[in-house]
Amino acid sequence: MNKIILADSQAIFRAGTAKVLASDEDMRIIAQCSDLDRMTHAMTTFPGSIVLFAAALRPDLTHLRMLLESTGSRGIVIAENDEQAGTYLHQGFRGVVFRNVNGPGLVECVRRVAAGETWLPPQLMQPESPEDDMVGTRVRDRLTPKEMRIVALIVQGCKNREIAVRLKTTEQVIKNYLRSIYDKTGVSDRLELALFTIHHRVLAQAAAEVGSKLEVEQQQQQQQQQQQASSAVA
């Protein structure tokens, strides 16, 4: 039985990854961690594990590699789609997958690393170009601007209530939009939608761009509210 520690700040992708790995009877998720402190604690508590961690957590890679060695564990990096896999392999990690890896590829990576091998699938050396992602392009072009905003927030792990607040509407309206989005993408729930988005490079890039704009808008709104509050006090 391969013990797996899964560390990722994005809850929806932790859930999707855990679901994929749990389908293999030789793998057992022994810890799910949302931050570096929890991951470090899990590594010292469960030595000899496969540690699947997101690069987005921004760990000290040198320290992490030393901790892996001292606990007899092996590390697999979940890299963002625009990162270079070789950077992590050169630093001694045993495998790299991108966030858009499919289920079979993820399972195969964990199996190979558990067997003492290093995992470098061909697609990491020659990543799919945006021009080749016809499905992602088609879905991106079919989604309305409002629907793309909802997709971007779903990818960030937001619930319907939070999305409704961010977009200044109601939960029922968000549910109506989600039904339309599910029809256009061919998925059945928000987890599948997030995984579908991240798997298709063109769609993932579009969602990331919209998500960045939403973050800027939210920051501007918070600044305005703070200024209004300060004016009221004065």
Task: Specify the residue for token string 């969602």.
Answer: 207
Distance CA 154, CA 197 (A): 10
Mean pLDDT of the chain: 86
Average pLDDT (10-30) is 86
| Whether residue 233 has pLDDT greater than 70 | no
The pLDDT score that the predictor gives to residue 79 is 87
Of the residues 68, 91, 125, the one at which a domain ends: 125
Taking only the tens place, the pLDDT of each residue in 166-192 is 999 999 999 999 999 999 999 888 888
Distance CA 132, CA 200 (A): 10
The whole model's pTM is what?
0.65
If asked whether residues 120 and 142 sit together in one domain, one would say no
If asked whether residues 105 and 6 sit together in one domain, one would say yes
If asked whether residues 214 and 135 sit together in one domain, one would say yes
If asked whether residues 104 and 140 sit together in one domain, one would say no
CATH number at residue 87: 3.40.50.2300
If asked whether residues 228 and 136 sit together in one domain, one would say yes
Distance CA 104, CA 46 (A): 25
Residue 180: how many CB atoms within 10 A of its CB? 15
If asked whether residues 214 and 160 sit together in one domain, one would say yes
**What is the domain range of residue 39?**
2-125
Taking only the tens place, the pLDDT of each residue in 72-105 is 999 999 988 777 777 787 788 888 888 878 788 8
The pLDDT score that the predictor gives to residue 127 is 45
| Whether residue 63 has pLDDT greater than 60 | yes
If asked whether residues 120 and 186 sit together in one domain, one would say no
Of the residues 75, 91, 125, the one at which a domain ends: 125
Of the residues 125, 155, 176, the one at which a domain ends: 125
Q: What b/e sequence results for 187-222 when a residue is b if at least 16 CB atoms lie within 10 Å of its CB, and e otherwise?
A: beebeebbbbbbbbbbbbbbbbebbeebeeeeeeee
Range from 7-16, 40-49, 119-128, 130-139 carrying the lowest mean pLDDT: 119-128
If asked whether residues 183 and 101 sit together in one domain, one would say no
If asked whether residues 32 and 140 sit together in one domain, one would say no
| Whether residue 120 has pLDDT greater than 90 | no
In sequence order, the β-bridge partners of residue 74 are: 50
| Whether residue 230 has pLDDT greater than 50 | yes
If asked whether residues 8 and 121 sit together in one domain, one would say yes
| Whether residue 146 has pLDDT greater than 80 | yes
CATH number at residue 182: 1.10.10.10
The pLDDT score that the predictor gives to residue 234 is 59
If asked whether residues 121 and 137 sit together in one domain, one would say no
CB 17, CB 5: distance < 8 Å: no
The answer for residues whose C-beta is within 8 angstroms of residue 13's C-beta and 6 or more apart is 54, 99, 194, 195, 198
CB 71, CB 51: distance < 8 Å: no
If asked whether residues 110 and 179 sit together in one domain, one would say no
The pLDDT score that the predictor gives to residue 125 is 46
| Whether residue 57 has pLDDT greater than 80 | yes
| Number of domains the chain contains | 2
| Whether residue 232 has pLDDT greater than 50 | yes
| Whether residue 130 has pLDDT greater than 60 | no
Average pLDDT (104-120) is 87
| Whether residue 123 has pLDDT greater than 60 | no
